[in-house]
């Protein structure tokens, strides 16, 4: 396929609404193959109400997990004896602590790396030391008790462990003012003012939860002024997204522009936060022309938006617009998280069709295979997906609080309980940060798209199983021939790095893989100058043999600093040289400037 002509606007750029056709969302992707009988609609309505009460969590899935675990445990007397011996050993270790009570003694039980509930030095003193160690001993016992067992479905073992951990977290001594030395010290120091302020915070949060309202962004963190403030203009808009072209900051630019496809599960400006840590600002300052997709925040009227809409009316329409503004030039395509998944699908489809407009593909914390998708898989099985589908069928989308609860419970120790103690018992306000403001600025998921995503990718893993069809024909990631740059983060609990690494297993092209410090967001927003940053990288030539993640990790040397400079150097190497500054927009070809960045869609609530 040749590049688009210079003097015409491609048909995908005509800003017409997506026509869902005569078939409703119910029959087009929410678990139904036909218009259902009213009695079945009654069933779905009841389940939708139950789903809203449970936050979208299917009680059937977790009851099944406990039942499976219980039956197999009763049939395993050897495991029961093992756990009894473990309980005895743990009790003896705790008794040994009571005789010494030395805070310098080697701890037999320690919190997990992301668990900061016991960081206060008061936990090293009796009696708090015993309460902490006793809780950690019970937590350790349940971790062992819910380990994989012969005959027990692995996912049920993982779910049982997850539920046991959630139940234990509710009774942690850190949650009770009389048992937490940090709360006791703060109460004495303030004369109880911390508890009064904490009660006020609790009342405020309850009110916001019930009314579904949000606090405005604090001073110094206004979107368009302090955040998402890299200069640019909206050069294209349809019902799904706005396309932002950023103003150049150098006298010349690299010939090939960059098109960034962010995830639509959150707002795009995670990649354009404050000026000092904005990836967009960094790339523009390095002499690249950058285009950014800013997705709409869908409403119930857009329930029929599909994955194909996000590919065709989203990514492909944006690429067509970039080609109109910069005709004859290939494009460096960049995808983050879910945006990286749809970019991989788009790239494979373009390769199949002979569309050679991409110069390279960069995937950041993006999965193409979901067999090892971490603890998010705990929320994805037939029962869970059907439950969510019924809820979305009723309201037209997956709402923001429902997604936020899912991500929070995966790291409940830090994201729920530590925050609750800090806010409600210590009386401390959440300190505003640019990333914190972005995290609170959540979006909705259109019902049909989210159902297709959960079923086709998470539940059935079709993309790497050779069963994901685009326009009626299966696509293959191995068809991608342009160079790829793939970034994973070490402590990512949304896209675990070994899952992201599997991109190498399903592609044959030249590929550079980077494993960076940090989590799903902090590892990507990893600007130069951060003293805690480090990364590992390795290059795989096209057609090379596959190397597993453990072997790769053993050989890849760690380097201090941000991975951004290595990436921009790689982009330069994949480019064809400097050219004069391009125009912003293309009014003569039907793409006038529609307003300054960050546009209007980023403000949709």
- List, by residue number, the catalytic residues: 337
Stated as kind and residue range, the H or E segment containing 121 is none
**Which of 4-9's residues contact partners 24+ apart within 8 Å by CB, and which partners?**
4/320, 4/323, 4/324, 4/327, 5/327, 6/324, 6/327, 6/328, 6/589, 7/589, 8/589, 9/324, 9/589, 9/590, 9/591
Return d(Cα 437, Cα 216) in angstroms, integer.
9
**477 to 167, 305, 311, 469, 470: CA distances (angstroms):** 41, 24, 15, 12, 12
Q: Is 225 exposed, middle or buried (0-12, 13-18, 19+ CB in 10 A)?
A: exposed
Phi, psi at 285, each rounded to 5°: -65, -20
- In the three-class reduction of DSSP (H, G, I as helix; E, B as strand; rest coil), residue 410 is classed as helix
Both tokens assigned to 225: 């002024």
Return d(Cα 502, Cα 506) in angstroms, integer.
7
- The bridge status of strand 290-295 relative to strand 258-261 is parallel
Stated as kind and residue range, the H or E segment containing 407 is helix 400-410
Stated as kind and residue range, the H or E segment containing 313 is none
- Report the side by side order of strands in the sheet with 258-261: 232-237, 241-246, 290-295, 258-261, 331-336, 358-364, 484-489, 511-516, 534-540, 558-560
Per the listing, tokens 């609990």 go with: 493
Using alpha carbons, select from 239, 285, 303 the residue that is nearest to residue 24: 303
Both tokens assigned to 73: 């445990």
**How many residues would you count in the chain?**
605
Return d(Cα 254, Cα 258) in angstroms, integer.
10
Using alpha carbons, select from 3, 571, 595, 12 the residue that is nearest to residue 314: 12
Residue 376: how many other CB atoms lie within 10 Å: 18
Return d(Cα 538, Cα 555) in angstroms, integer.
9
HEC readout, 270-292 = HHCCCHHHCHHHHHHHCCCCEEE
Strands (E), 413-557: 445-446, 469-470, 473-474, 484-489, 511-516, 534-540
Return d(Cα 298, Cα 18) in angstroms, integer.
13
**103 to 112, 176, 229, 460: CA distances (angstroms):** 18, 22, 49, 50
């Amino acid at each position: 396929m040749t590049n688009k002509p210079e003097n015409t606007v491609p048909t995908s750029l005509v800003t017409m609404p997506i026509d869902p056709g005569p078939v409703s969302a119910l029959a087009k992707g929410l678990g139904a193959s036909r218009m259902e009988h009213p009695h079945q609609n009654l069933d779905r309505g009841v389940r939708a109400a139950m789903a809203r009460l449970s936050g979208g969590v299917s009680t059937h899935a977790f009851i099944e997990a406990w039942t499976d675990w219980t039956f197999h445990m009763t049939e395993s007397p050897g495991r029961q004896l093992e756990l009894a011996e473990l309980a005895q050993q743990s009790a003896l270790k705790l008794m040994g602590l009571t005789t010494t009570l030395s805070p310098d003694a080697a701890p037999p039980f320690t919190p997990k790396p992301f668990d900061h509930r016991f960081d206060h030095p008061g936990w090293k003193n009796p009696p708090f030391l015993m309460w902490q160690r006793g809780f950690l001993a019970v937590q350790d016992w349940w971790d062992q008790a819910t380990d994989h067992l012969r005959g027990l479905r692995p996912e049920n073992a993982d779910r049982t462990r997850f539920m046991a951990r959630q139940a234990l977290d509710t009774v942690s001594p850190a949650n009770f003012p009389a048992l937490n030395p940090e709360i006791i010290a703060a109460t004495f120091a303030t004369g109880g003012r911390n508890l009064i302020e904490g009660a006020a915070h609790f009342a405020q949060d309850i009110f916001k939860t019930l009314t579904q309202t949000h606090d405005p962004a604090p001073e110094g963190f206004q979107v368009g002024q302090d955040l998402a403030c890299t200069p640019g203009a909206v050069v294209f808009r349809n019902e799904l997204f706005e396309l932002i072209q950023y103003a150049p900051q150098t006298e010349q630019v690299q010939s090939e522009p960059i098109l960034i496809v962010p995830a639509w599960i959150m707002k795009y400006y995670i990649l354009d936060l404050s000026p000092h840590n904005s990836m967009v600002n960094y790339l523009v300052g390095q002499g690249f022309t950058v285009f950014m997709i800013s997705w709409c925040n869908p409403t119930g009227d857009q329930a029929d938006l599909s994955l194909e809409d996000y590919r065709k009316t989203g990514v492909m329409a944006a690429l067509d617009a970039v080609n109109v503004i910069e005709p004859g030039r290939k494009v460096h395509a960049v995808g983050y998280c879910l945006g990286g998944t749809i970019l991989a699908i788009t790239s494979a489809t373009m390769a199949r069709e002979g569309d050679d407009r991409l110069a390279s593909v960069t995937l950041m914390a993006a999965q193409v295979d979901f067999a090892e998708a971490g603890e998010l898989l705990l929320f994805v099985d037939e029962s869970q997906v059907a439950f969510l589908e019924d809820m979305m069928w009723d309201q037209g989308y997956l709402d923001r609080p429902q997604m936020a609860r899912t991500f929070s419970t995966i790291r409940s120790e830090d994201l729920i309980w530590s925050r609750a103690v800090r806010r409600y018992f210590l009386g401390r306000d959440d300190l505003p940060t640019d990333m914190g403001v972005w995290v609170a600025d959540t979006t909705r998921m259109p019902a049909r798209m989210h159902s297709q995503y959960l079923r086709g990718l998470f539940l059935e893993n079709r993309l790497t199983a050779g069963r994901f069809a685009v326009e009626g024909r299966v696509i293959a990631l191995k068809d991608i021939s342009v160079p790829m740059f793939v970034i994973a983060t070490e402590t990512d609990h949304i896209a675990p790095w070994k899952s992201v690494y599997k991109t190498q297993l399903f592609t044959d092209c030249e590929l550079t893989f980077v494993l960076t410090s940090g989590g799903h967001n902090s590892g990507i927003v990893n600007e130069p100058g951060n003293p805690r940053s480090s990364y590992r990288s390795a290059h795989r030539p096209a057609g090379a043999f596959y190397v597993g993640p453990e072997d790769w990790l053993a050989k890849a040397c760690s380097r201090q600093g941000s991975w951004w400079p290595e990436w921009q150097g790689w982009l330069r190497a994949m480019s064809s040289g400097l050219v004069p500054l391009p125009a912003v927009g293309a009014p003569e070809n039907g793409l006038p400037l529609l307003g300054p960045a960050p546009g209007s869609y980023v403000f949709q609530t």
